[in-house]
Amino acid sequence: MQRDRQLGLFYALPLGGFLALAFLAPILLVAAFSTMPPKVFSLAHLPDFSAYYTVLTQGYWKSVVWSLGMALAATAILFVICWPLAYGMAKVLGRFSLVLTICVVMTLFVSENIRLFGWVLTLMKGGLIEGYLRHWTGAGFDGLLYNVPVIVFGLVYVYLPFMLFPLAQGIAMVPDDTRQAAFDLGATRWQVLREVELPLAMPGILVGSLLTFVLSAGAIAESKLLGGQAVIVIADEVETAFTYGQNWPLGAALAMVLIAIVGGIAIWGIGRADLDSMMARK
C-alpha cells in the first residue's frame, strides 16, 4: 500500500508541476497584484488593499450579483431542458443517441462569438424575425436584444453541452433494476424520479451544474453581444479595469472576488460528487 501511494505521487508529479505552472502561478500573480496600490504595473510596492475597498464601496458588487444570478438562472433552465434529452440519450434512444451527441458536439466546432452574432442578426430590429414579420404582416417591433432574458438565453444556448453530457452520464448510472423495483413496489413516476433517479444521478447533476454555473458566471460575450449595456457583468468589469481603465490592482481584485466565490461553490460541489462512481472505478 505504501509503495502504491509513493508510485501514485511520483506519477502525479508531471501533472502537478504543469498545474502549478499553468494554473496556480497565474492565480497567485493576480492575487499579488490585487494587493498593490491603484494604477501600478509592478509588484515593487508595499501591500495595499485599497482595491478591495473600491470593490466593496463603488457598486461592483452589483455586477457580481448579476453574474451569479444569471448563471444560476441559466443552470436551472438547462437542467430542466437537458434532463429529458439526457434521459433519452442514456435510457431510450440506444445507438441513436450517438446522432444526438454528434449534433450537439458539432456546435462546439464553431466559435462562440460567431454563433452569438448569428443570434444578433436573428433577433435585432430589422433582423431575420422582425424583418420577415414586417414583410408578411406589416407590423414590426423593436427587436428582442439588449435585455436580461436574452442574455440568459445566450448562456443556455452556449453552455447546453456542458450540462447535457454529465447529466446523461449521471442518468446512465441509475440501474434499471432499481427503477423497476420501485415501480413494482407501487411507486408513482414522480416518486421514482424524486427518490430513485435524482439521488442516484446526483454526481452527474452536480458536475453538469458546476460546469454550467462556473462558465456562465465568468462569461462575457453573451452580455456584450446580446445584452449591450443592459447589464454589466463582473467579467466585463475585470476586462475594463485591465484595459481601458489601466488599473491592474482593481482588475485583479475583481478577478479574485469572482474566483473566491465561484471556487468556493465548485469545491463544495466537487466534495459532494461521487466522481469515482462516474468514472466507473467502483
> Is 28 domain-assigned?
no
> Is 47 domain-assigned?
no
> Is 6 domain-assigned?
no
> Is 23 domain-assigned?
no
pLDDT at 81: 94
146 in the Ramachandran plot: left (φ > 0), alpha (ψ -120 to 50) or beta? left
> Is 34 domain-assigned?
no
- Whether residue 209 contacts residue 163, with contact meaning beta carbons closer than 8 Å, is answered with yes
CA atoms within 13 Å, Cβ hemisphere of 99? 5
pLDDT digits (tens, 9 = 90+) for 57-72: 888 999 999 999 999 9
Residue with cell 457580481: 64
Residue with cell 494554473: 23
Closest alpha carbon to 78 in 202, 216, 239, 190: 216
**Can you count the helices (H) and strands (E) in the chain?**
16, 0
The total domain count for the chain is 1
In the chain, which residues have pLDDT < 70?
A: 1-6, 8, 135, 138, 140-141, 272-282
Closest alpha carbon to 89 in 174, 167, 206: 167
pLDDT at 150: 94
User: 176: domain range?
Assistant: 52-278
> Is 139 domain-assigned?
yes
94 in the Ramachandran plot: left (φ > 0), alpha (ψ -120 to 50) or beta? left
Would the CA dihedral through 128, 138, 150, 156 be positive or negative? Answer: negative
Query: How long, in residues, is the chain?
Result: 282
pLDDT at 185: 82
pLDDT at 187: 84
CATH of the domain at 194: 1.10.3720.10
> Is 189 domain-assigned?
yes
Q: Distance between CA 150 and CA 67 in Å, rounded?
A: 14
pLDDT digits (tens, 9 = 90+) for 140-184: 667 788 999 999 999 999 999 999 999 998 898 888 888 888 888
